Amino acid sequence: MAGILDLPLMREAVTSCHYFWEAGWGECHAGNMSYLLSDDDIAEVEPFFMARPVRVPFGYDTAGLVGKSFLITRTGGQFRTIVERAERDMGIIRVNEGSYDILWGYDNGAGRPTSELPAHLLCHASRLGSNPDNRLVMHTHPTYLNAMTTIADLDEKSFTETLWSLNSECILVFPDGIGVLPWMVCGEGEIGPLTAKKMERYRIVVWPYHGIFSSGDSFDEAIGLIETVDKNAHVYVAVNGKPKHCINEGQLKDLASHFGLSAAF
């Protein structure tokens, strides 16, 4: 009997996440992905659900997504090894009010979804408000985009128009533009709601000196947006000089404090 990982959706999800590592965008534990399952998707994966789902309390905004199910990557997972360890580094959850149920994956419920789950749920809700067919939210660390954020003006109008000006394909691929947040501590906190607010208008949101959130109806759309942005960020970096701004010492101390690290400043 074929397993859950033989299903086309699961194969595409695993291949897409591994592609991020191959592209150099998913180093170490970097990157996460969430896919909103349709009724047809659920019918295909339901035979593989655990007999007793694992219920996990969830104290964040469920964004009106109660009853929805998501395929989502694991906190601490690695895109480098996801092909061999998909049942550890991915899982399926169902959102409840005040909790979620792990239905499959994460080493039979021993692991947990990405720590950026609150941001993913809020972003899904925002995109569904603009596009009822939206399925994906993907976060990764494109190399040249991150380099560009140290050089370019971070005003989102200017940032968008700079990318548009570098290649005639850009305005065709993302005519809606790009949202850009100011730098802030990643993970739980204000960055999730602010990213979701941007996603009411944009399919792409840039976190300076960190990475990108992308959304779409399909893996092709969400990944194609990232590829197009990073390709033309590469062009920008190739013709511009040294970084003009980056994470400052105070912001580094905020990061260290937030994650309980003892850094040698």
Around Cβ 204, how many Cβ atoms within 10 Å?
Answer: 26
pLDDT in tens, 79-89: 999 999 999 99
**Cα separation of 265 and 252, whole Å?**
9
pLDDT score recorded for residue 147 = 94
**Cα separation of 169 and 210, whole Å?**
25
State how beta strands 204-207 and 179-180 pair.
Answer: parallel
Mean pLDDT of the chain: 91
pLDDT score recorded for residue 248 = 77
Q: For residue 263, what is the DSSP state?
A: -
Q: Is 140 a residue whose pLDDT tops 60?
A: yes
Residue 247 pLDDT class (50, 70, 90 cuts)? low
Around Cβ 223, how many Cβ atoms within 10 Å?
Answer: 19
pLDDT score recorded for residue 170 = 86
Q: Is 17 a residue whose pLDDT tops 90?
A: yes
pLDDT in tens, 107-116: 999 999 998 8
Q: At what angle do helices 219-238 and 8-22 cross, to 10 degrees?
A: 10
Residue 263 pLDDT class (50, 70, 90 cuts)? low
- Catalytic residues, which ones? 116
Which residues on adjacent β-strands are paired with residue 136? 35, 216
pLDDT in tens, 187-218: 777 888 999 999 999 999 999 999 999 999 99
Residue 155's SS3 state is coil
Around Cβ 216, how many Cβ atoms within 10 Å?
Answer: 22
Which residues on adjacent β-strands are paired with residue 54? 102
pLDDT score recorded for residue 259 = 78
Name the burial class of residue 44, with classes exposed (0-12), middle (13-18) and buried (19+) by CB atoms within 10 angstroms of its CB: middle
Mean pLDDT of 3-16: 96
Q: Is 29 a residue whose pLDDT tops 60?
A: yes
Q: Is 146 a residue whose pLDDT tops 80?
A: yes
Residue 242's SS3 state is coil
State how beta strands 69-73 and 54-57 pair.
Answer: unpaired
List strands edge to edge, sheet with 69-73. 54-57, 99-105, 90-95, 69-73, 32-36, 136-140, 211-216, 204-207, 179-180
Q: What is the 3-class SS of 55-115, one letter each residue? A: EEECCCCCCCCCCCEEEEEECCCCCCCCCCCHHHHEEEEEECCCEEEEEEEHHHHCCCECC
Mean pLDDT of 32-42: 97
From 83, 10, 97, 92, select the one nearest 54 (Cα to Cα): 92
State how beta strands 136-140 and 69-73 pair.
Answer: unpaired
